[in-house]
Amino acid sequence: MHLRAEAILLSVRGHGEHGAVARALTEQDGLQPGYVRGGRSRALRPVLQPANLILGEWRSRTEEQLAGLTVELIHSRAPLFGEPLPAIALQWATALTASTLPEAQPYPRLYAALDGVLAAIEAAPAARGWATAMVRYELLLLAELGFGLDLERCAATGSMQDLGYVSPKSGIAVSRAGASGYEDRLLRLPEFLTEGGAAEWSDILDGLRLTGHFLERDLLIGRGADLLSTRVRLVDRLKRAVA
């Protein structure tokens, strides 16, 4: 196995005394893990930072063997980890992707969307510039992994108009007329997800509540409390930022 490609670094963990195992997302070859010799060294620590764009070269004798990985830094987002809100956003987006995608399966739409989210965080660290992109990325991740929501028509009436809610059980949209009397049992569907355009903070938080429900139910079961706590911290920081 020999692969050379640009990739978004998603996660890094120490392995042995000096090495590290890194997981990175490539556009055409999906999620690729690899062992980086000397990955815990002073020289490589700034390179092996989640959210960085790298040029990776993976080599192994067999498909089953963990590949050896050498990395070159293309673009660093390390400075953003000095700012609390961008840092937790980068941490969440990369950890979510690393934890849920199967290895070696191409997800070019997810690669492009994740690159867009990370670029938006870098360009506008204030959350209003990237929070809607984060919601859309979470929706796309659900869809790409087979848990997409149906936000096209009402589950109760079949109408494609005035959709305002989503069933927490079926993941299908519900119109305001169809939701009458049952609003407290449904998740609110913010308009920016169906109509586009700008979003108020209340809409952004509703969007995160919507995606969070289905991420926790369908993708993050058994993934560990640390991952979920990262998202809780992100939402809490967003709430404090707009309070």
Query: Does 64 share its domain with 90?
Result: no
In a domain, residue 158? The reply is: no
* Per-residue pLDDT reduced to its tens digit, 23-35: 999 999 999 999 9
Examine the pLDDT at 173 and tell me if it is beyond 80.
Answer: yes
Least trusted range by pLDDT, from 73-77, 90-94, 114-118, 175-179? 175-179
Query: Does 63 share its domain with 125?
Result: no
Query: Does 24 share its domain with 70?
Result: yes
Query: Does 110 share its domain with 208?
Result: yes
Cα 239 to Cα 82, 164, 204: the distances in Å are 20, 22, 10
For residue 39, the domain's CATH number is 2.40.50.140
In the listed set 41, 76, 111, which residue is the last one of a domain according to the structure?
76
Least trusted range by pLDDT, from 49-53, 112-116, 117-121, 127-131? 127-131
> Among positive and negative, which fits the CA dihedral 30, 136, 189, 163?
negative
In a domain, residue 221? The reply is: yes
Split into its structural domains, the chain has a count of 2
Query: Does 136 share its domain with 210?
Result: yes
In a domain, residue 157? The reply is: no
The span from the CA of 109 to the CA of 113, in Å, is 6
Query: Does 62 share its domain with 90?
Result: no
Examine the pLDDT at 43 and tell me if it is beyond 90.
Answer: no
* Per-residue pLDDT reduced to its tens digit, 116-125: 999 999 998 6
In the listed set 61, 76, 91, which residue is the last one of a domain according to the structure?
76
Beta-bridge partners for 72? 55
In a domain, residue 214? The reply is: yes
Query: Does 113 share its domain with 214?
Result: yes
Domain of 69, in residue numbers: 1-76
In a domain, residue 19? The reply is: yes
Examine the pLDDT at 135 and tell me if it is beyond 90.
Answer: yes
The span from the CA of 120 to the CA of 109, in Å, is 16
In a domain, residue 141? The reply is: yes
For residues 158 and 148, the model is more confident at: 148
Query: Does 90 share its domain with 13?
Result: no
Examine the pLDDT at 67 and tell me if it is beyond 80.
Answer: yes
Query: Does 120 share its domain with 144?
Result: yes
In a domain, residue 156? The reply is: no
Local structure of residue 76 (DSSP, 8 states): -
In the listed set 58, 76, 94, which residue is the last one of a domain according to the structure?
76
Query: Does 126 share its domain with 11?
Result: no
Query: Does 119 share its domain with 67?
Result: no
pLDDT for 70 equals 95
Burial track 59-70 (b if 16+ CB lie within 10 A, e otherwise) = ebeeeeeebebb
pLDDT for 14 equals 86
In a domain, residue 121? The reply is: yes
Beta-bridge partners for 13? 21
Query: Does 194 share its domain with 211?
Result: yes
Examine the pLDDT at 225 and tell me if it is beyond 90.
Answer: no
- What band does 76 get if pLDDT is binned at 50, 70 and 90? very high
Residue 169's Cβ-count burial label (10 Å; 0-12, 13-18, 19+) is exposed
